Chain A
Amino acid sequence: MTETLAETTAQAEEPLAEFPMPRAAGCPFDPPPATRVLQNERPIAKVRLWDGSTPWLVTRHADQRALLGDPRVSSDPLVPGFPHPNEGFRENSKRRRTFLGMDDPEHARIRRMVTAPFAIKRVEALRPDIQKITDDLIDAMLAGPTPVDLVRAFALPLPSLVICRLLGVPYEDHDFFQKNSSVLINMASSVEDVVRANEALTDYLDNLVAAKLADPADDMLSELAARVRAGELTQREAANMGVLLLIAGHETTANMIALGTVALLEHPDQLAVLRETDDPKAVARAVEELLRYLSIVHNGRRRVALEDIEVGGETIRAGDGIILHTGTGNWDAEVFPEPERLDISRDARRHMAFGFGVHQCLGQPLARLELQVVYSTLYRRIPTLRLATGLDQLPFKHDGAVYGVYELPVTW
């Protein structure tokens, strides 16, 4: 007991590492080196955030899974001690409550209202449509000049067209919602900008839900509108859910397409295997490995302890913030031998790129399908695809909630 006390005091006196931690120059795909040192030396360690708070940073795969699956750990950003990533997020969490920030049973009740369209079979039925969208975008790119920005020409429009169609949002408005959604997930955005972007998007979705109430179609917003009519949701709650699905549908897959392409171009042997295979299982395996390797939700899943929890030799106290750095967990050599090696033939299914526990990504079957179609089509149809600039010139999204590149100039 005395010893533990002494240790705690010793740790309190040491200056704590600041979080988030920077990546190493020249290693754009690797998790920050400091997180990997902690993983070896102090896998559950206190760190200091922007507001001076000192949550726990958890870096090992096993501890992360234990905590993410633990009902004593809350996702509610309104619980004191929750480690907000910045002021904008803290402000927004008061304004826009979604199932992402709720605990069971409320979380399960609301989440189940939107799970049906993401069931494996319903998503699989979209394969021909997604293939067509992919081929059309590649045709347009091939017909245009080079170099071209792969993000604007392909990586962003593809998931955007798909999620718009599923939700029933008119794609013509894409400039408006893409701009606002990128403000919302950029850590460098001011509080005012975040609040304004959130309001603009919520009002926009609110109007759409109202339109679907009057004139329903075969899409998710109409299903949500039906819930509003049945009194299960308020119109504002339905709009909040729409904002969440629209942003999630955009930012993640778009970044996986662009960043995945950069990673594959830097690993030509792996790219060649992917380009040549006809086996859908091999493609599916490659998708899992790229999800693991890149872990684009890169600054940690955030939680707060509701009770004292013993884990990995530490005691996390009730009210302590917890950051699960799943990007580092996905590079845990105990689960993924030689984690720094991109190996599209490995079995990477235990990765936590979609999170873990009850909040694990709802849209993962759709994301997987989009990535399988893209990775098995793009490099085959443009076999000479290459960067039109140096790797060191690419603008990486260090400040984003989702990692990726802002622009990807390519040629062929």
Chain B
Amino acid sequence: MIKVHCFVSCVCEVIKKTDGVDHRPFYFGVWDADFDVSPDGILSYHSENINHDFFKTWYEMLYGIKIHRWYDEKKSKLTNVMTLLELMKNKPSYRSIMVMLDLSMLPERENKFHQSPFPHYVMLEETDDPKEWFMFDPDFRWEGRLPKQKILDAIMVPDVRGGYYFDAKQINPTNAETIEAYFQTCMKHDENPMSEAIRKIVELFSRGTEKHRRSELSDALKQIPVLAIRKYAYEHAFAFFWEADGYSEEWFEAWCDEIEKLVKGFTAIQYRAMKYAMTADDTVLKEIHEKINEQEKLEYFIKKGLNECFEAWVSNKHTEVLA
């Protein structure tokens, strides 16, 4: 499994480990999950304007687990760290404690995206050694012991603020109606927010009010890779419906190829944007827009295909009820 979304990966981990519940529907909303574009046109996967309330609400509806926010942004960092220490000390075995830290502060960890700061959610547990904590990072499939002080230093970075806990003592098997409602809520049939945002940013830095900052277009789109991998969430949805609808493995593999093409297409956009930022070549600008249009077309095609198998799944479920 590849990194898709750190908050979602953390809360899904306990679901994955439980028989009789399926974590894949929870990924439905991730392909178009919130991101931000700053007033000066910077695309960002993380921002003060993004909260995880949507995922929190649906996690509870799908699995019956309430996610509590323990981090209080109105309080100082130190007060929040004290809250964390208290939570860690009194943690029951069924509780998961999540905290946002700056991953770039932990150089022993792979940091493929080289973001600095790199806001990222992980889960923590105490160990038998008071100077070490066990850090669990399901998004990057990493777990291990690290010096407690190093983790605390990464939490203390001013750019990162956030923390949740949830108790998975009892996990409800999800009913089909809730999955149906969640899919319908998540599916944006008439918009592809990421491609649309990239198009606006490119326009802004090439013909718009920021055209004097053309050479900064590369930086404005620097976080494309972090957002592009969210598109792998489509695979989870196809996998979920594929099994239920009885499609062939080749059918599923063919959709995975389309999703891979979509993710790679964003790399091509990024490359062309970097080239345009450096050369100001109008031919390259035209090629960027061509690729964005191609991406939009491909993503609508994937959404349409997914929606068709969702409808087949709904129809099967209704038949099962009537039988």
**Co-assembled chains A and B:** no
Which residues of B does A touch, CB under 8 Å? Answer: none
Which residues of A does B touch, CB under 8 Å? Answer: none
